[in-house]
Each structure stands twice: as structure tokens, then as C-alpha cells.
């Protein structure tokens, strides 16, 4: 659906805006567990064979709970209707595809630097990849162990519910802003395009004006997708030059 495209469209920095909001929220949530979360760390892969300039994870956990190694996290917010979703039942397939991509990019270089890599993959609809959920659950459990000994499962569930709510809120909030921004741009563009062909001939009579207006409105209704697509091309040309 076109609405999903608006939430994460790369034109106008919509996708970057959503990604950055989710990164900030995830880092903030780790800090509530007393884990030192550093956003966009530098010089982690200085000894790596690959070019380190193009491999900077989103979050570095300096002191993760219950883990002997420090952890790097890279965030991805994926659509739910991409080409990787082969059927309506494969709801988790887009998340798994992005998870595999992240693992291929950072997995080897993380091992080379004695770091543990965990992809944090979310969907525009608020889904969370099961591997990241399992890691968060363990971090919550270890935090509760430090406070009160063996924790109750209800408290772990409550902690997971809070994480899910916060991340979903960040995604929904940014998606709403992205859609509103994009719709405003498209509306202005369509109204500007209308000026080119909804120009009333002062010599037309009332009946002719009504017929002319009706024809113009029918044209807009029938070709709205085309106008939107053309505007996307214009915006992309202006952006990338």
C-alpha cells in the first residue's frame, strides 16, 4: 500500500528520520537497565580487514548484563510489504531478510574484534525480530536478578511490554510525521499541477464551466496515482540532482 511507502520513503529523509528515532529510543531503554549505551561509536573496527569507514554500528553496549563480551547493535526498520514477503502468511519474512543482511555486514567484522553483534530489526507496524526480543528479555532478567534475586516471570513480561510500547510509540510517532509531511508535499504539488489545466476560460458560459470543472475533477480522480508518481520523480531529481 502507498501508505507504507510514505512512512519509510528515502526521499525527504523519511527513512533516516525514523531510523534515528528508533536508535535513540533503543539506547534510552538500555540505559534504564543501567547499561552504558553509546550511539554511533567510532573506531571499533580499526583492526578489521574491511574498510572501517563504512561500518559503524548504531549502538555500542559497553557493559551488557550477563555477557562476557561487549555488544554492538545495528538498527533496521523494515517495511512489511517488500519483495522479500513471498505471501500474506510470511509476515516475518521481511524482518528476517533485513536480519540476514545486517548479519552479513557486521557479523564477521564483529567476531574479528571480539565483539558480539546483534541486529535490531523492527517493522513499520511495530514488529520486533525474535532474536533481539530474546536478547532484551535476557537483559531485563539479569537486571532483576541484581535487584531482587531470581525474578518473577510476570516482571520480565512487564519489562518486555514496556520496551515494546516505547519502540512502537517511536515508530508510530515518526511514521505519522512522515506521512503528514509527505502528504503536504504531494498536496501542494498536485494543486500546483492543477493550475496548469484548471484555468477557466473567461469566454465560457456557466454550463461550459460546470462541464469543464467536472472533466478536470474526473481527470484528477483517475490519474491521481500518476500525478503522485510524477511528483516523486521530480522530488528525487531535485534531491539527488
Q: What is the pLDDT of residue 17?
A: 81
Q: What is the pLDDT of residue 151?
A: 86
Q: pTM for the complete prediction?
A: 0.66
Closest C-alpha to 189, from 241, 239, 234: 234
Stretch 135-155: mean pLDDT: 91
Rg (CA), the chain: 24
Query: pLDDT of 79-119, one tens digit each?
Result: 766 555 555 555 678 888 889 999 998 998 888 889 999 99
Say yes or no to pLDDT of 240 above 80: no
Q: CA-to-CA distance for 171 and 160, rounded, in angstroms?
A: 17
Query: pLDDT of 151-195, one tens digit each?
Result: 899 999 999 999 999 999 888 888 776 655 555 555 556 555 555
User: Is residue 126 within 8 Å of 172, Cβ to Cβ?
Assistant: yes
Q: What is the pLDDT of residue 43?
A: 79
Q: What is the pLDDT of residue 126?
A: 82
User: Is residue 118 within 8 Å of 9, Cβ to Cβ?
Assistant: no
Residue 137, C-alpha cell as written in the block: 528479555
What is the three-class DSSP state of 122? strand
The position carrying cell 533496521 is 76
Stretch 56-68: mean pLDDT: 89
Closest C-alpha to 2, from 190, 182, 167, 185: 182
The torsion region of residue 222 among left (phi > 0), alpha (psi -120 to 50) and beta comes to alpha
**What is the DSSP secondary structure assignment for residue 58, as one 8-state letter?**
S
Q: Which residue has the higher pLDDT, 149 or 83?
A: 149
Q: Which residue has the higher pLDDT, 144 or 4?
A: 144
Torsion angle in degrees (nearest 10) through CA of 21, 22, 27, 33 = 130
Overall residue count recorded for the chain in this entry:
241
What is the three-class DSSP state of 143? helix
Say yes or no to pLDDT of 215 above 60: no
Amino acid at each position: 500500500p502507498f501508505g507504507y511507502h510514505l512512512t519509510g520513503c528515502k526521499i525527504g529523509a523519511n527513512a533516516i528520520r525514523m531510523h534515528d528515532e528508533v536508535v535513540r529510543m533503543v539506547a534510552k531503554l538500555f540505559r534504564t537497565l543501567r547499561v552504558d549505551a553509546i550511539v554511533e561509536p567510532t573506531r571499533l573496527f580499526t583492526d578489521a580487514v574491511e574498510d572501517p569507514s563504512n561500518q559503524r554500528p548504531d549502538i555500542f553496549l559497553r557493559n551488557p548484563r550477563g555477557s562476557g563480551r561487549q555488544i554492538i547493535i545495528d538498527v533496521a526498520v523494515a517495511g512489511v510489504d517488500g519483495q522479500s514477503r513471498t505471501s500474506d502468511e510470511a509476515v516475518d519474512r521481511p524482518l528476517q531478510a533485513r536480519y540476514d543482511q545486517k548479519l552479513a555486514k557486521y557479523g564477521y567484522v564483529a567476531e574479528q574484534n571480539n565483539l558480539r553483534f546483534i541486529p535490531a530489526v523492527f517493522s513499520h507496524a511495530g514488529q520486533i525480530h525474535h532474536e533481539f526480543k530474546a536478547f532484551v528479555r535476557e537483559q531485563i532478567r539479569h537486571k532483576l536478578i541484581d535487584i531482587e534475586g531470581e525474578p518473577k516471570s510476570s516482571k520480565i513480561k512487564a519489562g518486555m511490554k514496556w520496551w515494546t510500547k516505547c519502540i512502537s510509540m517511536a515508530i508510530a510517532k515518526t511514521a505519522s510525521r512522515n506521512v503528514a509531511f509527505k502528504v503536504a508535499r504531494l498536496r501542494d504539488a498536485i494543486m500546483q499541477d492543477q493550475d496548469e489545466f484548471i484555468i477557466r476560460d473567461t469566454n465560457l458560459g456557466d454550463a461550459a464551466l460546470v462541464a469543464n470543472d467536472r472533466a478536470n475533477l474526473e481527470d484528477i480522480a483517475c490519474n491521481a496515482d500518476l500525478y503522485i508518481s510524477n511528483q516523486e520523480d521530480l522530488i528525487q531529481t531535485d534531491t539527488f540532482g
